[in-house]
Amino acid sequence: MTKLIVLLVIVLGVLAIAQLVRLYELSSKLRDRREEDIPNRDNRLNATLLLVFVFALFAGVIWMMSNFGWTGRGEAASKHGVGTDALLNLNFVIIFA
């Protein structure tokens, strides 16, 4: 019974997405605008949202590092964990540098 419900939800989700795409195509025909024509307003909105999310991501990373330490995991629990932490620190230095 659960498999049937999951299958039904997936099928209905695909149908809903197909209807939304069809609605978008019809509305663009009514506005006499092709899909390839992207207005500058949309470009500015996407650029602004990109910058907002990048700064939010950086703020979240800085907050995590200030509250939970460099790796966010605490001290190593074994001898092997010290080596693993050293490799993780090296990865962070390479990524953030």
- Report domain extents, the chain: 1-37, 46-97
Between CA 18 and CA 63 the distance in angstroms is 41
- pTM, full prediction: 0.51
Confidence band, pLDDT 50/70/90 cuts, at residue 96? confident
Closest CA to 39 of 23, 24, 51, 28: 28
pLDDT digits (tens, 9 = 90+) for 8-57: 999 999 999 999 999 988 887 888 777 777 889 989 999 999 999 999 99
86, pLDDT greater than 90: no
Between CA 50 and CA 76 the distance in angstroms is 36
* Token duo for residue 95: 């990524």
Q: What is the mean pLDDT of residues 67-85?
A: 82
66, pLDDT greater than 80: yes
